[in-house]
């Protein structure tokens, strides 16, 4: 183990583990904007998600800053490469102390198995999940890359492959959650984006699902962006959402 790896594993402070399914998407373009938003949230009420743009601009510093504020972090980088490269990237994320990280299921069974094995071998409890079919992908789009099946069929196929690989769950829509729980079991974690409160604007989301609907369908974690981040009082909004789930 390198000195850098040792340092990364040792500096993670005690994090607050919220009894909450909410994961707030920190979709900001700079460190300052991201931290201003984080300072309006409460780590006892939610976890936070860091995606490709923010991490590419800020690097591990954003993870360290969020950890220092007590937040558990879902690092949403969707690794997709040959097995060794994918597994090493997953391990690097876990070395930073993130709560959850993801890969593309289409990287294949071996890539997912190797990624999980390296987490276990290193003693990490980071959750490893997979992305099945991107929400922007249509059946026509799948055909364009040589996958001549319905989107729902491909989602189910890749979810089952993810379970076979020993991963903890998948990202899925609320509409897919019930079926995937049936296929993959109650312990298979489902992380659902595109969640809005009933009174919120639809914005660019064609299919809106409320938090209570998603949880009833079988989702375990709800990735919520603008409904919370654009609220006048984000903490009050989170409290409203949690109350709606009781």
Poorest-pLDDT segment among 42-46, 85-89, 173-177 = 173-177
Does 246 reside within a domain? no
Do residues 40 and 69 lie in contact, with contact meaning Cβ atoms separated by under 8 Å?
no
Label residue 75 by pLDDT band (50, 70, 90).
very high
Does 242 reside within a domain? no
Confidence at residue 91, expressed as pLDDT on a 0 to 100 scale: 99
Is 117 assigned a catalytic role?
no
Does 240 reside within a domain? no
Confidence at residue 3, expressed as pLDDT on a 0 to 100 scale: 40
Residue 117 annotated as lining a ligand binding site: no
Instruction: Give, as one character, the DSSP assignment of residue 149.
Output: S
Out of 14, 28, 39, 78, the active site residue is 78
Residue 124 annotated as lining a ligand binding site: no
Judge whether residue 6 has pLDDT over 90: no
Residue 76 annotated as lining a ligand binding site: yes
Is 81 assigned a catalytic role?
yes
> What average pLDDT does range 116-133 have in this prediction?
98
Out of 76, 95, 168, 200, the active site residue is 76
pTM across the whole model = 0.92
Q: For 10-20, how does the pLDDT look when each residue is reduced to its tens digit (9 = 90+)?
A: 356 689 899 99
Residue 95 annotated as lining a ligand binding site: no
Does 84 reside within a domain? yes
Range of the domain at 170: 3-235
Number of residues assigned to the chain:
246
**Which residues lie across from 75 on neighbouring strands?**
50, 101
Residue 78 annotated as lining a ligand binding site: yes
Does 103 reside within a domain? yes
| Long-range contacts of 50-53, Cβ-Cβ distance < 8 Å, separation of 24 or more | 50/26, 50/74, 50/75, 50/76, 51/25, 51/26, 51/27, 51/76, 51/77, 52/76, 52/77, 52/78, 53/27, 53/29
Residue 225 annotated as lining a ligand binding site: yes
Instruction: Give, as one character, the DSSP assignment of residue 195.
Output: B
Does 113 reside within a domain? yes
CATH number of the domain bearing residue 45: 3.20.20.70
CA 160/CA 94 separation, integer angstroms? 24
Does 117 reside within a domain? yes
Out of 28, 39, 42, 81, the active site residue is 81
Residue 82 annotated as lining a ligand binding site: yes
Is 163 assigned a catalytic role?
no
Residues 6+ apart with CB under 8 A from 238: 20, 22, 24, 41, 42, 45, 46, 228
Confidence at residue 13, expressed as pLDDT on a 0 to 100 scale: 67
Confidence at residue 14, expressed as pLDDT on a 0 to 100 scale: 80
Residue of 185, 180, 127 lying closest to 158 (CA atoms) = 180
Return the structure tokens found at 225. Answer: 């962006």
Give me the number of domains the chain comprises.
1
Does 245 reside within a domain? no
Residue 79 annotated as lining a ligand binding site: yes
Q: What is the dihedral of CA 49, 50, 53, 57, to 10 degrees?
A: 160
What is residue 176's three-state secondary structure? helix
Return the structure tokens found at 20. Answer: 């909450």
Burial string for 108-131 (b: 16+ CB within 10 Å, else e) reads beebbbbbbebbeeeebebbbbbb
């Amino acid at each position: 183990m390198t000195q850098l790896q040792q340092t990364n594993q040792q500096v993670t402070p005690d994090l607050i583990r919220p009894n909450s399914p909410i994961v707030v998407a920190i979709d900001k373009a700079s460190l300052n904007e991201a931290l201003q938003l984080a300072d309006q949230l409460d780590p006892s009420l939610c976890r936070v998600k860091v995606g490709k743009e923010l991490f590419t601009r800020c690097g591990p510093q954003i993870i360290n800053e969020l950890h220092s504020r007590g937040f558990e972090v879902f690092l949403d980088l969707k690794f997709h490469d040959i097995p060794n490269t994918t597994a090493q990237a997953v391990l690097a994320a876990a070395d930073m102390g993130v709560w959850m990280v993801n890969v593309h299921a289409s990287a294949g069974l071996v890539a997912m198995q190797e990624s999980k094995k390296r987490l276990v071998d290193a003693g990490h409890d980071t959750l490893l999940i997979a992305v099945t079919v991107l929400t922007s992908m249509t059946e026509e789009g799948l055909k364009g890359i040589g996958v001549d099946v319905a989107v729902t069929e491909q989602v189910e196929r890749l979810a089952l492959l993810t379970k076979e690989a020993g991963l903890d769950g998948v990202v899925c829509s609320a509409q897919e959650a019930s079926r995937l729980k049936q296929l993959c079991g109650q312990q298979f974690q489902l992380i659902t984006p595109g969640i809005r409160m009933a009174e919120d604007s639809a914005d660019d989301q064609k299919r809106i699902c409320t938090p209570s609907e998603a949880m009833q369908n079988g989702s375990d974690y709800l990735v919520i962006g603008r409904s919370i981040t654009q609220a006048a009082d984000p903490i009050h909004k989170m409290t409203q959402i949690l109350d709606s789930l009781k």
